Amino acid sequence: MGKVRNILQAKSQSPIFISPDITVFEALELMVEKNIGALLVMDDGEFIGIFTERDYARKVILKGKASKETLIGEIMTEKPAVVSSGNTIEDCMRLMTNKFTRHLPVIDDGKLMGIVSIGDVVKYIIEEQKFIIENMEHYIKGAV
């Protein structure tokens, strides 16, 4: 099975970073603009957390907070589940299922390399299966 690095290499969009000092509203605007469900939070070049649609729903809306006044640093997920680029796609699926998360930051030797979403994982698996099927079809046709 493939590795996380394979997904990162195939991604066309670079990860989007935000500061913990911006408002939730500004982060949501960026998420809509980029059509993404999570933002990586960096402070002085250091990865400190992740902000997701789920954080917004559970920690802002349901708590009655105002998105134009609440800062990302107040509601982001600190110390989220992470993977390394050497982890397998199967590792990602297991972690996403067990931790009920749809986004995994990728960290190698303390350095943030990117982010992998459940959509990235599903797309990779579909492409891998398509490749295997095509190879089997060529093999069968060649053997006849």
Q: What whole-number percentage of the chain has pLDDT above 70? A: 99
- Please give the helix or strand (H or E) that residue 114 lies within, else none: strand 111-117
Hey, which CATH number is domain 4-143, 3.90.1330.10, 3.40.50.2300, 3.10.580.10, 3.40.50.1860? Answer: 3.10.580.10
Q: What is the pTM of this model?
A: 0.83
Interacting residues of 25 by C-beta distance below 8 A, sequence separation 6+: 67, 68
CA distance 105 to 76: 14
Residue 102: both structure tokens together:
């749809």
Q: So what's the pLDDT on residue 144?
A: 56
Only one residue has tokens 């609440």, namely: 70
pLDDT interval class at 103 (50, 70, 90): very high
Place of tokens 């990162």: 8
pLDDT in tens, 29-71: 999 999 999 999 999 989 999 999 999 999 988 888 889 999 9
3 or 136: which leads in pLDDT: 3
Q: pLDDT digits over 74-97, tens only?
A: 999 999 999 999 999 999 999 999
SS3 of residue 96 by DSSP? helix
The ranges assigned to domains in the chain are: 4-143
